Structure 1
């Protein structure tokens, strides 16, 4: 039995299968170590997701890259023990391959950490509450900076991996040495991309817009749904999406209704007859807003802002906590004021009057004897 085992080991050594089995065992060992550590960490943090959102997000997000890195690291550590079993070319391939996989795994893990931080920030700062200005500010900065950092990590990791291989390194050197017109073309083509990247950084720092800001852009009313490094998605009230280059918000004027606060003042215009009782309508407006769930209790008023040859213009103003609530409040005011006028003062609705006068004092009807 011992002789058979010895012969089998000799065969494995001659064919190099022993080295492959050692490397495979190292990979399996790495997977087992990762599994044990991961389960231990999950057991320690179970029930703490609500109080420690970052820890839970890190465990979820880094599961994939760590599952890849643990076997790669174990194989790389076991490689010197079996290096003599491989030819020089095979050794170089294994070294470059493992180093490349390690770089990719580290880059993946770093990007996962960025996503975990963003997830924890989103969990900490809610945007579905009335006073969410600070939350939208922090989430916007986190999201844009995460995209910038992730892009930089991918570029750097890709460069490191490519530099592991001599043919690609020589190709890169040749391209740099003979840049010429190609460099000019690439520079012109990249100018817009770099401009968008700089614009994204500028928006992250100065924040003319934030996620869930209420804006009017290109004549459309909507909310900022997504901000990337190159474009911004605006969610229109009818569920359409407008996609604009990010530079649009630095170069073109637009309205931001929630730049400093979410509360707004809205107006309702009524065009009525000169006989309308303004003071009575003013009292009715106050009764309407005080009974409304949409009013924030701040601003309410009614003023006559214009008078034409046929009608007067009344402007009702009221405030609400945000744009959506204000829209509902304006519709409610308009409907109830019109109903009140129609029911109590129908003569105050716009009307066209025609007056027919009799003959003037100097014009007497003709008599038969005067002819």
Structure 2
């Protein structure tokens, strides 16, 4: 009965502190700090109550469920360490969410916002991993036998540490590569990349991998070390605007001035063109045909892709219907 009363008292004290904290936050958050205090109280409420209850139990319970005082306090200390780790991890999640909520949602058009989103998430995940590992280490330290065994092994030869390092080499390499990708400013969330002739947009930058949504809605998942070891194309590193390119082959008799007029009409009538730049040029020639390239800018990668497809289809239709003699032909000479 005494232990039950102490536990009920601890729960009552914890909930009283929670209500008092809610009242203070409600009074303080009427000003400019409401956007950060209310999410912290709402999301960190449960782990904070658990930590408060365990703290009161640690201070008030000499014995617990018939166990000696030393063992009872040891169990409470283990639970308290886990509760504090839970509270810190939850606080990190709240900090990330609050920071993202303060950023504008137009991540495609603002490079600084995309860079902030790219850098915050890997840091939060790495910090959560460090907190979790630290909590496990503190729990193991509370056991004298395990602590003595670990110190003796590490101090004698360090073989286990070397084996762990070798086995986790790829994981650690990807983790450090993820931090390098996040802070090297080589890519951001929302950037348009071309990797092995695959076009896609960066969907998520994790600690050990990068998720890319391809043009056909497939998800390409690559390790973070890929972007530190291999080259890739980033179309939107400095700005979101993308220049689309369309190449077609025509016969040598094709009138480029006529084709240029039609290309200009198609581009200017397209809502996907950002009214910035366009050009039609002959970029190559061979014995059978000439290669024509049309370049037109769009606001982002998705618009540039659709603009390229529309231009390619419309130009081929124009040549086929209006000037079929411009289509590539193979010539031969007959000598009787």
Match of 1:139 in 2: 117
Distance verdict in 2 for CA 1:354–1:178, change over 3 Å: closer
Matched, 1:108 2:90: no
Matched, 1:23 2:6: yes
Question: Counterparts of 1:109 and 1:73 in 2: how far apart (Å)?
Answer: 14
Distance apart, 1:317 and its partner CA: 0.9
Match of 1:33 in 2: 16
SS at match of 2:275: coil
Deviates more, 1:152-161 or 1:169-178: 169-178
Question: Counterparts of 1:224 and 1:52 in 2: how far apart (Å)?
Answer: 33
Distance apart, 1:188 and its partner CA: 2.1
How far does the alpha carbon of each residue in 1:241-298 deviate from its partner, in whole angstroms, 9 at most, with x for none? 2322211111111112222112111111121222322112212211211111100111
How far does the alpha carbon of each residue in 1:88-120 deviate from its partner, in whole angstroms, 9 at most, with x for none? 962112222222222222221111111111112
Alignment of 1:1-371 (within 5 A): 17-18=1-2, 20-37=3-20, 39-40=22-23, 43-44=26-27, 52-79=34-61, 83=62, 90-353=68-331
Tell whether the 8 Å contact from 2:107 to 2:190 is kept in structure 1 after alignment. no
Distance verdict in 2 for CA 1:328–1:152, change over 3 Å: same
Deviates more, 1:237-246 or 1:156-165: 237-246
SS at match of 1:299: strand
Tell whether the 8 Å contact from 1:33 to 1:70 is kept in structure 2 after alignment. no
How far does the alpha carbon of each residue in 1:218-262 deviate from its partner, in whole angstroms, 9 at most, with x for none? 442222222222222222222322322211111111112222112
Larger radius of gyration: 1
Tell whether the 8 Å contact from 1:30 to 1:73 is kept in structure 2 after alignment. no
Distance apart, 1:65 and its partner CA: 0.9
Distance apart, 1:354 and its partner CA: 5.7
How far does the alpha carbon of each residue in 1:122-169 deviate from its partner, in whole angstroms, 9 at most, with x for none? 222245454131111001110011112111111112111221222322
Question: Counterparts of 1:65 and 1:281 in 2: how far apart (Å)?
Answer: 69
Distance verdict in 2 for CA 1:286–1:219, change over 3 Å: closer
Distance apart, 1:45 and its partner CA: 8.2
Tell whether the 8 Å contact from 1:271 to 1:312 is kept in structure 2 after alignment. yes
Question: Counterparts of 1:309 and 1:52 in 2: how far apart (Å)?
Answer: 72
Question: Counterparts of 2:234 and 2:4 in 1: how far apart (Å)?
Answer: 64
- Please give the TM-score of this superposition, normalised by the length of structure 1: 0.81
Distance verdict in 2 for CA 1:222–1:166, change over 3 Å: same
Distance apart, 1:325 and its partner CA: 0.4
Tell whether the 8 Å contact from 2:15 to 2:49 is kept in structure 1 after alignment. no
How far does the alpha carbon of each residue in 1:30-88 deviate from its partner, in whole angstroms, 9 at most, with x for none? 34214523653675589999x95433432332122112112222223433xxx3x6799
Question: Counterparts of 1:45 and 1:291 in 2: how far apart (Å)?
Answer: 55
How far does the alpha carbon of each residue in 1:322-359 deviate from its partner, in whole angstroms, 9 at most, with x for none? 111001111111122222223332322223456667x8
Question: Counterparts of 2:204 and 2:157 in 1: how far apart (Å)?
Answer: 37
| Structure 1 stretches lacking a partner, 5+ long | 1-16, 360-371
| Structure 2 stretches lacking a partner, 5+ long | none
User: What is the total number of aligned residue pairs between the two structures?
Assistant: 336
